[in-house]
Every structure is written in C-alpha cells, then in structure tokens.
Amino acid sequence: MNVPESEPLSSTTTDAQDKLHDLTSQSWNLELVISGAALFATLSLPELLDSALAYYRYNLMTDTDYIHDVGPTQVMGLLKGVSYSLFAAFLAHFIMRAFWVGLLGILAVYPSGIRYDQIYSLSQYARQQFAQRMGSLPDYIIRLDKRCNVIFALAFSLALFLLGIAIAFGLFILIEAVLQLLIPDHLYKTVRETVNLILLVGIGGLWLVYVFLNLPKFRDNPRFAQIAFQLSQLFSVLFMGLYKPGLYILYTFYSQIPKQILQKRLVWAFSIFILVELVFMSGQLVQTMGASDALDSRSYITLRAPNQLVEANSFDNLRTPDELISKASIQSDVIREPYVRLFVSYPKSLDVELAKRFREPVWPDNLSKKDRRERKATWYLKSFESYFGVYLNDSLYRSPGFLFTKRADNGQQGLTTVLLTANLKPGRNILKVMVPDSANKPTAYYQIPFWYVPEN
C-alpha cells in the first residue's frame, strides 16, 4: 500500500505563515492569563473532587463492593494526582514565561545583550567558557520561549488526559445506572458482573491486539495496518472530542524529537507520573477507608477504635454546615439539654440491605393515593425501627420514634428523633446505633461518645 507523503511545509502560503508568526508572537500574554487561571482552577479541583466523591457515596452508591466503593475512590485519587501534576506544570510555565518577559525587557534596554568581554570580574578563561556555554541573550530568550511553549502544550495534554478519564468513568457509571434501572434486583448482580467482565475482557483484548499489530513485524503489513488503525479509532470513543486535539500535540512531539531522546524523556515522565498517581490513589483509599493513621509515626494513638474516638463529623456543632454526615450525628459533643437530638443518615447503599430483610406489603387497589402514601410511610418507619436499634449506654429505646427528615444545612435525607435523657449520668456516655448481622444478632453500625453536663 502506497502511503501518500504529507505536503512539505514550504507549500504553506506566505500569508498563512505571516499570520501564524503574528499569532505566536502575541500568544505569550494569553499564555500567562491562561496559566494563572489554570493554577487557581487546578488548586481548587481536589476539593471539588472530594465533594463529588462524598455526594456519590451518599446519594448514588448502591452497593459496597469493589466496583461501587473502592473503584470510584481510586479514580478520584487518580484525578487528584493529575490535578496536582497540572498545577505543577502550569506553575512552572507561569514562572518561566514571566522570566521570559523580564528578559525581553532587559533586551529592549540593552540590545547588545551580554558583552562577555566587558565582564572584568571574570578571568579570560571564565569569559570564554561562559560565552560558549551560555551563548547570547537573544538565543537564550528564543530557547526559553520554545521550552515555555512545550511545557504549555504538555500541560494541556495532561488536561485532555484528565478529561478523558473523567468521561470514561462517567460512561462506566452510566452503564451501571442503566443496568440497575432495567434489570430486576435478583438478576442485577449477576448481569452486572457479566457485563463488567465482558467490558474488561473486551477492552483489554482489543488493546492487546492493537499493541501486537503495532509491532514492527506487522505494522507495515497492508493487511494488518488497516485493522490497527480501525482499532485506534475505537479507543478514541472513550475520549470523545478530546482524541484529535491530543493527537495534534502527541504526534508533533513524535515527529520532531529524535526517537532515542523521546523514549528517554517519555520513560522519565511516565515513571514520575505513575509514582505521583500511586501516592495519591493510595492516600485517597487510606483516607476513605478510615485508616488515615496507618502511616502515622505516633506510637500511642489510633483512630480506628470507635469506642475511644470522637469524630467531629458526629456533632452538629463541630461539623461544617455543608459537610455530609457519614452515618449518624447528635447536636453537640457536650450536651446540656435533657435530650439528645439524633439524626441517622440514609445512604443509597442501605437500599440493598433493607430490601433483603423487608418486603413491602401488597396494598389494596381501592386505596387512594393519599392513604397509600400514608400506609407506606408508616410501614417504612416500622421497618427502620426494626432494623436500627438505638442504645444510650446499655439502655435500649424500643420505640425511638423515628421521623423522616431532610436537613436544612446540607440537604441530607434520613431519620431523626429526640431521645430523652432523664436518667442519663453526668460525664461521658455513648450512643450506639446497632443493626442485625447475617445471623440477626445486633452488631455495631455507629457509635458516638459524648459528655452530658446538665444545666444547673
């Protein structure tokens, strides 16, 4: 197969070259503005990712298996690593471009640049060495300008890669959501695992075939070249509209940088990037799994003993208003009122557990919508009182009197009740929310230690 040669650069019209030169000569000020805005955006991105993960875990996560729980956590860690890498790249570009502008100002004042023969504090030998190694100021400004442009292009390549990962993850979550809506509950887990296996094996198999067909032995074979190209277009679907812009940057580097130099730089960049990603993914996973003290050097403290731990998230007066409540909360760590106001959050993952234990009655067809709604609500609350056991120290509230609620501070939905504390002892106490295990024995769901200091 004869591959047509690309047109030489000299075929570009003079007017187009002049316009391109004018654009590149005036782009540095836009680069500074974009870098400054990107620095601010990438620095605030990790906080937005944390909020998105918290929202997903509470409102969208339907199960606590690897795909629904650990997978999104690792992806968020990956995106955090990319955002901090972007911040470092844009910061380096901003500093180098600002330095480049300063050098242009100096050159405008002193057009002759560095006059090595006039530096009297240096020996003749030192002047010659500096002249050889450093060169003229205009040459250095041109080299620095090229490096700034390369870093800027690489930073945007990384940004495109970040968006591609986000899109691919969004597609995966969308497939999971569609499967859950269309497939009955008793078949959902089996079908989901089958579909995930097919996707994993299919995408992995196509990738291996693509890598195999791009080996030198098969790459130039006309029969295999077309197949490899079509496979590359299939992978472009994952990145949607970001695929072609990324190729412009990638193939420009491939075609301009010698192969050996490019390979060395890619190996170093890829190694550093993978190391950064592993650090952030591990850190995000450790933080989400509640083992943030695992790598702490302190010998006599642990944050994984619920009975001996006070979490700020458990108390309304210590938690920030917009922060989601993990499982349950009360009004304060020090309670002076003769009651405890309890809120039990309702994450989406509870749906699966409750559906295993409670089956909704068949309501009569002649009920009005209002009556049906009231009966459902009453049955739901009785189910919750059967599922959640509320203890203050060793005292069980057999009818805690749960009501549905939606919090005004963060919009969370859940259950609320007020527990009277007439016989509560002054000092430290503990509130325990228990749930049945697989053998219907009470097991700890969440515990909140607090102090009761009654008003005089």
pLDDT 10s digits, 218-269: 777 777 777 777 777 776 666 666 677 777 777 777 777 777 776 676 677 6
Residues 268 and 401 in one domain: no
CATH number at residue 322: 2.60.40.10
Residues 278 and 372 in one domain: no
Residues 262 and 373 in one domain: no
Residues 373 and 427 in one domain: yes
User: Which one is predicted more confidently, 182 or 29?
Assistant: 182
* Per-residue pLDDT tens over the stretch 96-136: 888 888 888 888 888 888 888 888 888 888 888 888 888 88
User: Which one is predicted more confidently, 343 or 320?
Assistant: 343
Residues 284 and 378 in one domain: no
Residues 263 and 345 in one domain: no
* 189 within some domain: no
- Quote the pLDDT of residue 9: 43
Q: What's the pTM?
A: 0.63
For CA atoms 219, 222, 226, 229, give the dihedral sign: positive
Residues 147 and 28 in one domain: yes
* 361 within some domain: no
Residues 272 and 398 in one domain: no
Residue 417 near residue 401 (C-beta atoms within 8 A): yes
Residues 388 and 266 in one domain: no
Token pair of 33 as six digits = 């503005």
Give me the chain's average pLDDT, please. Answer: 78
Considering 176-180, 205-209, 280-284, 361-365, the range whose residues carry the highest mean pLDDT is 361-365
- Quote the pLDDT of residue 244: 75
- Quote the pLDDT of residue 26: 60
* Per-residue pLDDT tens over the stretch 400-420: 999 999 998 888 999 999 998
User: Which one is predicted more confidently, 68 or 432?
Assistant: 432
Residue 321 has pLDDT above 50, yes or no: yes
Q: How many domains does the chain have?
A: 2
Max CA-CA distance within the chain? 106
User: What residues make up the domain containing 45?
Assistant: 22-182+257-288
* Per-residue pLDDT tens over the stretch 269-291: 667 666 766 676 666 666 655 55
Residue 145 has pLDDT above 70, yes or no: yes
* 252 within some domain: no
User: Which one is predicted more confidently, 30 or 204?
Assistant: 204
Residues 336 and 402 in one domain: yes
Residue 332 near residue 450 (C-beta atoms within 8 A): yes
Q: How many other C-beta atoms are found inside a 10 Å radius of the C-beta of residue 342?
A: 24
Q: pLDDT-derived band of residue 344, with 50, 70 and 90 as boundaries?
A: very high
* 149 within some domain: yes
